[in-house]
Amino acid sequence: MRHGCALALTILFPLLSPALRAQDPEPPERGADSMVPDSSDSRMLSDSSDLEEEVADTLLRRLPEQVGSGPHPYLREVRDRAKPVWWESIALGAGSRALRYPGAGVTYGPGSTGGTLTAEVGRRFNQHAGLGLEYIGWLGDFQEDFFGALQSLFAIVRVHPLGAVGPFLKAGGGLATYGVYDMVYDELASFDVGVAYVVGAGWDIPMGRELVISPIVEWQHFTLASDRTYHGKLLNVGLMITWSGRESDLDQLLSEE
> Does pLDDT of 202 surpass 90?
yes
pLDDT tier at 190, thresholds 50, 70, 90: confident
What is residue 81's predicted lDDT score, i.e. its pLDDT? 44
- Among 33-37, 93-97, 186-190, where is mean pLDDT lowest? 33-37
What is residue 82's predicted lDDT score, i.e. its pLDDT? 42
Number of domains in the chain: 1
CA–CA gap between residue 188 and residue 28 (Å, rounded): 117
The span from the first CA to the last CA of the chain, in angstroms, equals: 112
**Winning range, highest mean pLDDT, from 77-81, 186-190, 196-200:** 196-200
Find the angle CA(154)-CA(155)-CA(160) to the nearest 5 degrees. Answer: 115
Whether residue 79 lies inside any domain: the answer is no
Beta bridge partners of 112: 97
- Please give the share of the chain, as a percent, with pLDDT higher than 70: 60
> Does pLDDT of 203 surpass 70?
yes
pTM of the model: 0.63
In the DSSP assignment, the letter for residue 86 is E
Whether residue 12 lies inside any domain: the answer is no
Whether residue 73 lies inside any domain: the answer is no
What is residue 21's predicted lDDT score, i.e. its pLDDT? 56
Alpha-carbon distance values, 117 to 110, 158, 226 (Å): 22, 19, 25
Whether residue 232 lies inside any domain: the answer is yes
> Does pLDDT of 75 surpass 50?
no
What is residue 47's predicted lDDT score, i.e. its pLDDT? 55
Q: Are the C-beta atoms of residues 123 and 84 closer than 8 Å to each other? A: yes
CATH code where residue 150 lies? 2.40.160.20
Q: How confident is the model over 101-147, as pLDDT tens digits?
A: 876 566 677 788 999 999 999 998 888 899 999 999 999 888 888 89
What is residue 102's predicted lDDT score, i.e. its pLDDT? 77
Whether residue 59 lies inside any domain: the answer is no
- Among 1-15, 32-46, 168-182, where is mean pLDDT lowest? 32-46
In the DSSP assignment, the letter for residue 30 is P
> Does pLDDT of 18 surpass 70?
no
What is residue 32's predicted lDDT score, i.e. its pLDDT? 44
What is residue 246's predicted lDDT score, i.e. its pLDDT? 60
What is residue 154's predicted lDDT score, i.e. its pLDDT? 98
Q: 97 or 252, which is more confident? A: 97
H helices present in 63-220, as ranges: 64-68, 73-81
H helices present in the chain, as ranges: 2-23, 39-60, 64-68, 73-81, 249-256
Burial of 180 (0-12, 13-18, 19+ CB in 10 A): middle
Burial of 97 (0-12, 13-18, 19+ CB in 10 A): buried
Nearest to 80 by CA among 252, 253, 254, 257: 252
pLDDT tier at 62, thresholds 50, 70, 90: low
Q: Residue 199 is part of which domain span? A: 84-102+112-256
CA–CA gap between residue 102 and residue 25 (Å, rounded): 131
Whether residue 56 lies inside any domain: the answer is no
Whether residue 36 lies inside any domain: the answer is no
Whether residue 142 lies inside any domain: the answer is yes
Please enumerate in sequence order all residues whose Cβ is within 8 A of that of 95, keeping only pairs 6 or more positions apart, or say none: 113, 114, 115, 116, 138, 140, 234, 235, 236, 237
